[in-house]
Amino acid sequence: MVILKKGILFLCTRNSCRSQMAEGLAKKMLPKNMEIFSAGLEPKGVHPMAIKVMQEIGVGISHQKSKNISEIPINKINLVVTLCGDAAERCPIFPGKVERIH
């Protein structure tokens, strides 16, 4: 049985601003059948300023939480977007064919 993966992971070090904002924007802009995730290598909580800025453009991220990459179902990911140099350097290897963009 072949499992089609249609998931995007936005990865940064702390999963507090950039990746949270990217997750919120992607969920608003991409087709609903896409699974969108964000995670950090050392999660520290969603920054209140990220929530405020996203509210200003009509994207609510206050319900999102900062997650460790170990909490993400990696079998659903086919694209990893790293949003900082640290994440790009420390990004783990994903099983199967997973595209990476920095």
Read off the CATH number of the domain in which 21 is found.
3.40.50.2300
Residues 6+ apart with CB under 8 A from 51: 61, 62
Question: What's the predicted TM-score (pTM) here?
Answer: 0.92
Task: Let me know if 12 is a catalytic residue.
Answer: yes
Place of tokens 């900062």: 66
Residue 2 within any structural domain of the chain: no
Number of domains composing the chain: 1
Residue 55 within any structural domain of the chain: yes
Catalytic residue among 34, 91, 98, 100, which? 91
Catalytic residue among 12, 17, 22, 81, which? 12
Residue 12 near residue 18 (C-beta atoms within 8 A) = yes
Task: Let me know if 84 is a catalytic residue.
Answer: yes
Task: Let me know if 91 is a catalytic residue.
Answer: yes
Given pLDDT bands bounded at 50, 70 and 90, which one contains residue 5? low
Say what the pLDDT of residue 95 is.
Answer: 82
Range of the domain at 42: 7-101
Residues 6+ apart with CB under 8 A from 30: 8, 36
Say what the pLDDT of residue 94 is.
Answer: 85
What is the spatial distance between Cα 27 and Cα 21, in angstroms, rounded to a whole number? 10
State yes or no: pLDDT of 8 exceeds 90. Answer: yes
The closest of 61, 58, 14 to 36, measured between CA atoms, is: 61
